Structure 1
Amino acid sequence: MQNIKNIIFDYGNVIFDIDFKIAQASFQKLGITDIENFFAHKAHNQLFDDFETGAISPSEFREGIRNAAGKPELTDEQIDDAWNSLLIGTIQENHDLLLEVKEKYRTFLLSNNNEIHYDWIINYLKATFQINDYDAYFEKAYFSQHMKLRKPNTNIFEQVLKENNLNPAETLFIDDSPQHIEGAKKVGLNALLMTEKPAQLGAFLKANGIL
């Protein structure tokens, strides 16, 4: 792409497969009703925003799930299993792609995440790919629960731009959520909506002139 020197990648459904429908079904099995309003791709209960910004702890998140389900007897394991059912996995080719992109651009990761998912993902990467973290694949990886901010709010994009002295006009943001794309555009970022599955990341990058 012309004039692009920096790329900020989202994680879920860009690099790593996630499935909201599986998590919805898992939460319904725990007893949660009105699932489309409670947890979906484009909207969800405030509980999830609070957890993704580190405003509440894992134990407080789990208690929120118990309250929503009306089942105080739910165990931590039951709740974590339901929540982590969102996470599907990734492929080695995507890690290779990230290294290839990093040779041409300054690259960053910006993910709405939370402590339970983060721990699961790190354990998965270690077990599956012998990767301890994403330090080798990006100049810096940003996670919402560490920043106390989340997408699509403009302040999270502004922090990444400021900390790394990035010109938004020279920076591309790639995400699978339309609302996050709109947030990025508000601070002047170029943005691409990822409409393919992570397994097609390479084709997506090539089709958009990134590789």
Structure 2
Amino acid sequence: MINTIIFDLGAVLIDWNPDYMYRTVFADEQQMRDFLTNVTTSDWNEEQDAGRTLQEGTELLVAKHPHHEENIRAFYGRWIEMLGDAFEGTVEIFKELKESGKYRIYALTNWSAETFPLAQQKFEFLNWFDGIVVSGAEKMRKPAPEFYQILLDRYNVNPQESLFIDDNYRNILAAEKMGINCIHFTSSEKLREELVAKGIV
């Protein structure tokens, strides 16, 4: 029986997208795509999520791509402009789960420890969680099994009695290997359907 819900944050509850800021930097969409794909890559950003400082990550990239220095420095210099709105449909589900009083609810997120406080300032619902485990603070990230284990141990969570919701299928597979029940998030509407089918909402 499920007694614990674990949410991912980015792309599940919170809309974060570098496009929002970089569309004000690049006049050409393809140039922006090339920059985000080949310079400020997902792999590079994930190292900051895993605990590398924003300054170190920035300087490493500037040294590698000096002709893109200004645009590279904008990534974290103007990071707040990449933070969109909440996904209200998912927030409503979160609220229903919280108000039911049936579940402990946690967040397990790949997020830089330096930028996460900016999200906390913007989104009141981040205060609703019974606990949040942030990769940047722990110096490890999904899909490392050790990262999931931090949450399980810290909050005394039985994996078989928990449900993990994440948009990244890589992270879902890692959680399933640890015996955690999972829903692969694709939309708030689909999430509600799956939770209803499981008798959770």
TM-score by length of 1: 0.74
Gaps of 5+ in 2: none
Q: Which moved more, 1:27-36 or 1:101-110?
A: 27-36
* CA positional deviation for 1:13: 1.2
Q: Aligned in 2, Cα 1:76/1:49: closer, same or farther, shift over 3 Å?
A: closer
Equivalent residue, structure 2, for 1:128:
none
Tell me, in whole angstroms, the C-alpha distance in 2 between the residues paired with 1:118 and 1:104. Answer: 28
Tell me, in whole angstroms, the C-alpha distance in 2 between the residues paired with 1:138 and 1:183. Answer: 23
Q: Aligned in 2, Cα 1:26/1:67: closer, same or farther, shift over 3 Å?
A: farther
Q: Which moved more, 1:172-181 or 1:30-39?
A: 30-39
Tell me, in whole angstroms, the C-alpha distance in 1 between the residues paired with 2:163 and 2:91. Answer: 19
Equivalent residue, structure 2, for 1:48:
45
* CA positional deviation for 1:165: 1.6
1:104 aligned partner, one-letter code: K
Instruction: Check conservation: 1:171, 1:190, Cα contact below 8 A.
Output: yes
Q: Aligned in 2, Cα 1:182/1:62: closer, same or farther, shift over 3 Å?
A: same
* CA positional deviation for 1:61: 2.0
Instruction: Check conservation: 1:172, 1:191, Cα contact below 8 A.
Output: yes
* CA positional deviation for 1:200: 7.0
The equivalent position to 1:59 in structure 2, one of 55, 58, 66, is 55
Tell me, in whole angstroms, the C-alpha distance in 1 between the residues paired with 2:119 and 2:5. Answer: 22
Instruction: Check conservation: 1:4, 1:171, Cα contact below 8 A.
Output: yes
Tell me, in whole angstroms, the C-alpha distance in 1 between the residues paired with 2:18 and 2:194. Answer: 22
Q: Aligned in 2, Cα 1:20/1:175: closer, same or farther, shift over 3 Å?
A: farther
TM-score by length of 2: 0.78
Tell me, in whole angstroms, the C-alpha distance in 1 between the residues paired with 2:177 and 2:168. Answer: 15
- Partner SS, residue 89 of structure 1: strand
Instruction: Check conservation: 1:7, 1:171, Cα contact below 8 A.
Output: yes
Q: Deviations over 1:167-197 (max 9, x none)?
A: 111111000000000110111101110011x
Q: Aligned in 2, Cα 1:201/1:22: closer, same or farther, shift over 3 Å?
A: farther
Tell me, in whole angstroms, the C-alpha distance in 1 between the residues paired with 2:183 and 2:132. Answer: 19
2:59 aligned partner, one-letter code: E
Gaps of 5+ in 1: 126-130
- Identity of paired residues, percent? 25
Instruction: Check conservation: 1:32, 1:69, Cα contact below 8 A.
Output: no
* CA positional deviation for 1:33: 4.5
Equivalent residue, structure 1, for 2:158:
167
Aligned pair 1:16/2:14, yes or no? yes
1:191 aligned partner, one-letter code: C
Aligned residue pairs total: 196
Q: Deviations over 1:7-51 (max 9, x none)?
A: 1100011111233655786897898947436566xxx33x32321
- Partner SS, residue 173 of structure 1: strand
* CA positional deviation for 1:80: 2.3
Equivalent residue, structure 1, for 2:83:
87
Tell me, in whole angstroms, the C-alpha distance in 1 between the residues paired with 2:133 and 2:165. Answer: 14
2:37 aligned partner, one-letter code: E
2:138 aligned partner, one-letter code: M
* CA positional deviation for 1:158: 1.2
Q: Which moved more, 1:114-123 or 1:84-93?
A: 84-93
1:210 aligned partner, one-letter code: I
Aligned pair 1:71/2:72, yes or no? no
